[in-house]
Chain A
Amino acid sequence: EVQLVQSGAAVKKPGESLKISCKGSGYSFTNYWIGWVRQMPGKGLEWMGIIYPGDSDTRYSPSFQGQVAISADKSISATYLQWSSLKASDTAIYYCARLPHIVVLTNNLFGGYFDYWGQGTLVTVSS
């Protein structure tokens, strides 16, 4: 059974750093891209970026480039989403999700839909 299990909720202050995780199991972790999706309180979904754990190739949505960092550790089947300096506007639920197929887009970007999702990690940033 394919599973993506995310780290627990985090409460941080503005300016602090944070790294949340997503661990995959039940499939060949290094052979599928993993993406991160943001859902702000009471709002819709936003595509942040994706990573290929096999070689850590990473592509960001233009809106999130430079705002977050996505990384992976294939030895433990984990991917990460990291902030160096959080803002109150980063308060949201963050989901990791697997992409079963990749579509090549313009500007050297990749895309796709998500077939399996993690349970979400609530990040609250408040002073």
Chain B
Amino acid sequence: ELVLTQSPGTLSLSPGERATLSCRASQSVRSNYLAWYQQKPGQAPRLLIYGASSRATGIPERFSGSGSGTDFTLTISRLEPEDFVVYYCQQYGSSPQTFGQGTKVEIK
């Protein structure tokens, strides 16, 4: 099984700062089939990025994805108050498809 490890577990930053979230795979993610989701408390996840770097419809430009192989990054260029929530990565290139354990972005 391809394991995704997200780091850090919690990221403490201030509004306006840049956030860099990491998702590392235990083996190469085929064709960069990696997605990022945002989940607010009590809500369903929301797709941010697919194919490692393609922004989903309606997602603000401050969210960007990068990486390939085993190392992927979600960057939030300038944190807005509503961005302080949990983020998950997901690989869909091999079975079983797996999610990372999540990174919580909290207000410092």
Q: Which residues of A contact B (CB under 8 A)?
A: 37, 44-47, 61-63, 95, 97, 103, 105-107, 109, 111-115, 117-120
Q: Does B14 lie at the interface of the complex (its beta carbon under 8 Å from any beta carbon of A)?
A: no
Q: Does B63 lie at the interface of the complex (its beta carbon under 8 Å from any beta carbon of A)?
A: no
Interface size class of B (residues with CB under 8 A): 20 to 34
28 A-B residue pairs with Cβ-Cβ distance under 8 Å, sorted by A, are A37-B45, A44-B88, A44-B100, A45-B90, A45-B99, A46-B99, A47-B96, A47-B99, A61-B96, A61-B97, A62-B95, A95-B45, A97-B44, A105-B93, A105-B94, A105-B97, A107-B95, A111-B92, A111-B93, A111-B94, A113-B33, A114-B35, A114-B37, A114-B47, A115-B50, A117-B46, A119-B43, A119-B44
User: Nearest Cβ in chain B — how far from A96, in angstroms?
Assistant: 9
User: Nearest Cβ in chain A — how far from B86, in angstroms?
Assistant: 9
**Cα separation A63 to B33 with both chains bound (whole Å):** 21
Q: Which residues of B contact A (CB under 8 A)?
A: 31, 33, 35, 37, 43-47, 50, 56-57, 88, 90, 92-102
Task: Tell me the nearest residue of chain A to B90, going by C-beta.
Answer: A113
> Assuming the A-B contacts A44-B102, A113-B35, are A62 and B45 also in contact, with contact meaning beta carbons closer than 8 angstroms in the complex?
no
CB pair A113–B99 under 8 Å, yes or no, is no
> Assuming the A-B contacts A113-B90, A115-B56, are A61 and B95 also in contact, with contact meaning beta carbons closer than 8 angstroms in the complex?
yes
Chain A residues within 8 Å of B97, by CB: 47, 61, 105, 111
CB pair B47–A113 under 8 Å, yes or no, is yes
